[in-house]
């Protein structure tokens, strides 16, 4: 394996590891949101809490990192990046063996 190929593979693997860690964090956030919604769905808000309702002081905004995990476009881009990096990793490993 050439030094350049080895560096490319290492870079792809590092980037893939970062993307996988982000996907895992998003998954953890979604699980946490699911647990909260199963236990007390009336208690949570995904945005600005209306002050017009008398029960508003018992409503809690969901953590920003959990709300961000619901961003469909961000998640689609992340998953596409992971697929691309996984294919690139496979290609580089194949070239390394050749």
Local confidence band at 81 (pLDDT 50, 70, 90 cut-offs): very high
pLDDT of residue 53: 55
* Prediction pTM value: 0.80
Convert the chain into a string of H (helix), E (strand) and C (coil): CCHHHHHHHHHHHHHHHHHHHHHHHHHHHHHHHHHHHHHCHHHEECCCCCCCCCCHHHCEECCHHHHHHCCHHHHHHHHHHHHHHHHHHHHHHHHHHC
pLDDT tens-digit series, residues 17-64: 999 999 999 999 999 999 999 999 999 888 765 555 555 667 888 898
* Helices 72-97 + 3-39 axis angle, to 10: 150
When the pLDDT of each residue in the chain is averaged and rounded to a whole number, the result is: 89
Decide if pLDDT at 78 tops 60: yes
């Amino acid at each position: 394996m050439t030094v350049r190929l080895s560096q490319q593979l290492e870079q792809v693997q590092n980037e893939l590891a970062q993307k996988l860690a982000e996907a895992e964090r998003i998954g953890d956030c979604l699980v946490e949101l699911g647990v909260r919604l199963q236990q007390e769905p009336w208690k949570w808000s995904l945005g600005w809490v209306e002050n017009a309702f008398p029960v508003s002081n018992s409503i809690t905004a969901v953590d920003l990192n959990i709300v961000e995990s619901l961003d469909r476009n961000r998640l689609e881009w992340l998953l596409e990046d992971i697929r691309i990096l996984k294919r690139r990793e496979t290609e580089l490993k194949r070239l390394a063996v050749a």
